[in-house]
Structure 1
Amino acid sequence: MLNRRTLFGAAFAGLALAGVASPAFADWKADFPELTIAVIPAENASTTTDRYQPLADYLGKQLGVPVKLAVATDYAAVIEAQRAGNAQIAMYGPASYARAVLTGVEVDPLVVPRHSNGATGYYSVIYTLANGPYKSIDDLKGKTLALVDSNSTSGNNAPRFFLHRDGKDVDTFFGKAIFAGSHDNAVLALAQGTVDAAANSWNSEDDSNLTRMISKGVLKNADGKPMTKEDFRIVFKTDFLPEGPFSVLSALPADLKAQIKQAFLDMPKNDAKAFAGLSDGKDTEFVAIEPATLQPIIDMVKFNDEQRKKGS
């Protein structure tokens, strides 16, 4: 488990030094005998491990060195792991990538997934329970909202930005806004009746964090009964958001970065099972992404930062 305090611990001190070195070596494996991929905690720790360990194993086979998976306890831990050079590869959400860039972490976005609907992005939504009294975002004034993490896109930054555009400030419109820590936890809080609404990610009617939880049978109501997507109502939906990138440290040798990128691009044909496991079969491929595509998210995070400073 990766957290901001340990940053994987002293065992990775040597790799941290190697991770920020930039000389071009004839054989990068001499300087990187092991790599680490850090991932944000979109789900609970065990589910995240089940989903991403096959990716780490696949990358290890393709690159010819062991690739260790580190599941972060929060989004900031991934940012700090890359800042320290402890994680050469990272899976970010768009806003956590933006936060890394804005705080001086030098990273290169490599690839994003393309979903089965052809999109390379998603939306942020706010759910309520379908059998509850809240049928629109206006009905939630003074109520309790579950966010995800301060560095989450769909679980904090996008709702703040687009609700503000609509004249609603999250911190004053809702009676209380709490951080649940992961997308799963936010939905679970709503299902259990702990909160009145929950922010989350949404690709399509049949592909969202909600539908993945339902397919795994982990989503139950306060009475312990299994839930379906019909048990939830979307009362707010943002504009389209670019998908979060798999990124690498900019200082890595160019040939290593190229090999990592190619390994991602080749994954659907080289290890179809591991690739399908990343999205429960809802993604079709990885595609390259340029930093400019994520600039609107950087601008969004900067805007939210400015609004927070005004309110403090």
Structure 2
Amino acid sequence: MIRKLFLTTAAIILGAVASGGAAWADYKDTVKEFRVGLIGGENAQDLMTRNEKFRSLLEAELGIPVKLYPATDYGGIMQAMGANQVEMAGLGPSAFAGAWLDCKCIEPLVVPQEADGSTYYYSVMVTGAGSGIDSVEKMKGKSLAFADPNSASGYLIPNASLKAEGIDPQTYFSRTGFSGGHEQGVIAVLQKQYDGAVTWVSGQGEKSEGYTRGNLRSMVDKGLLKMSDINIIWQSGKIPNGPTAIRTNLPDDLKAKLLEIMMALPTEHPDIYKQVERGTGKGYVRGSMDLFSDIIKLREAEATGGRKS
């Protein structure tokens, strides 16, 4: 009886293998729709347009419907990931750290590489070219636009770095505020609504082109900015590139497929890669939590006002 049962079970398994493994679990059995969150920093229509080919590619490769969900700010995507409303999003390092601290439910899938293979970028402070403000010293008593409270280069790092340099943004500048995104902050400077703004750049390539990647490069490519219109008067230390993050509870075979798609994107679909990354680099490396340990600690310190909990 036992032998007969074994042979019957073996026959079922072999039959499943021969038919392409139909009896095995597949992510399509449980994931009927894949939702991609799009971070703020530019207007929603630009976000949707810039990512439409990526959405179409994901849909074709995954074999399930894929939808894009733009948010007005970083917090919207962080909350959506925590609430199981989106499965994947490209996050800045501070937004990733904040979302992970909130729910412990996400993980880094891949991290972008810059042109030299490194995985870091910089925060910069910009002012109007005709403003006469060509140094941080000349920004004293002037107004500064941060990008978003959940942005590393647009708030967390410049705020902490300036304090470490003996500059308290709350007292050094006449006023500070959040512009709602990186693009909006630079536009506010160009329109003289703020004297300065902080944003992000790869720090590599031609400065006259907005570097290889980053908000300035994106604005130059869209015709919203000429680099001759601004001064770059301050630059931070190295900041780890933000990951493409996914929900930890996704099926393993779906995670593997997503990793395969992302790693192949720069070589197999360079135009889509350029749109996703707002410029070009070397590609991606597999993400790891170790890369963001310092950012997570900084977020924790920010939340407690520097007190240990």
Question: Fold conserved (TM > 0.5)?
Answer: yes
Aligned residue among 234, 259, 262 for 1:261 = 259
Q: CA deviation at 1:47?
A: 1.7
Counterparts of 1:192-207 in structure 2, within 5 Å, are 192-204=191-203, 205=207, 206-207=211-212
TM-superposition CA deviations, 1:221-242 (whole Å, max 9, x none): xxxxxxx212211111110111
SS in 2 for 1:162: helix
C-alpha distance in structure 2 between counterparts of 1:62 and 1:284, whole Å: 22
Aligned residue among 216, 222, 225 for 2:222 = 216
Give 1:191's aligned residue: 190
For the 8 Å contact 1:42–1:182, the answer to whether it is kept is yes
Give 1:139's aligned residue: 138
C-alpha distance in structure 2 between counterparts of 1:141 and 1:132, whole Å: 13
Give 1:122's aligned residue: 121
Determine whether 1:86 maps to 2:85: yes
Greater CA drift, 80-89 or 281-290: 281-290
SS in 2 for 1:128: strand
C-alpha distance in structure 2 between counterparts of 1:259 and 1:211, whole Å: 30
- State the structure with more CA Rg: 2
For the 8 Å contact 2:215–2:278, the answer to whether it is kept is no
- Kindly report structure 1 stretches of 4+ aligned residues shifted beyond 4 Å: none
Q: CA deviation at 1:271?
A: 2.2
Determine whether 1:73 maps to 2:79: no
Give 2:291's aligned residue: 293
Aligned residues: 278
Q: CA deviation at 1:308?
A: 7.7
Counterparts of 1:230-241 in structure 2, within 5 Å, are 230-241=228-239
SS in 1 for 2:199: strand
TM-superposition CA deviations, 1:152-182 (whole Å, max 9, x none): 1111111111111111122222111111111
Aligned residue among 254, 274, 277 for 1:276 = 274
C-alpha distance in structure 2 between counterparts of 1:193 and 1:286, whole Å: 37
C-alpha distance in structure 2 between counterparts of 1:298 and 1:234, whole Å: 28
For the 8 Å contact 1:42–1:184, the answer to whether it is kept is yes
For the 8 Å contact 2:120–2:239, the answer to whether it is kept is yes
For the 8 Å contact 1:44–1:182, the answer to whether it is kept is no
Q: Specify whether residues 52 and 114 from structure 1 end up closer, same or farther in structure 2 by C-alpha distance, changes over 3 A only.
A: same
Unaligned runs of 5+ in 2: 1-23
TM-superposition CA deviations, 1:224-277 (whole Å, max 9, x none): xxxx21221111111011111011111111111111111111112332321122
Greater CA drift, 209-218 or 83-92: 209-218
For the 8 Å contact 2:273–2:280, the answer to whether it is kept is no
C-alpha distance in structure 2 between counterparts of 1:210 and 1:190, whole Å: 13
TM-score (norm 1): 0.84
C-alpha distance in structure 1 between counterparts of 2:179 and 2:233, whole Å: 19
For the 8 Å contact 1:38–1:87, the answer to whether it is kept is yes
SS in 1 for 2:78: helix
Give 2:38's aligned residue: 39
SS in 1 for 2:282: strand
Give 1:164's aligned residue: 163
Give the letter aligned to residue 63 of structure 1: L
Aligned-pair Cα RMSD in Å: 1.8
For the 8 Å contact 2:42–2:181, the answer to whether it is kept is yes
SS in 1 for 2:200: strand
SS in 2 for 1:103: helix
SS in 1 for 2:300: helix
Give the letter aligned to residue 177 of structure 1: T
Q: CA deviation at 1:148?
A: 0.8
Give 1:29's aligned residue: 28
For the 8 Å contact 1:58–1:271, the answer to whether it is kept is no
Unaligned runs of 5+ in 1: 1-24, 220-227
Give the letter aligned to residue 40 of structure 2: P
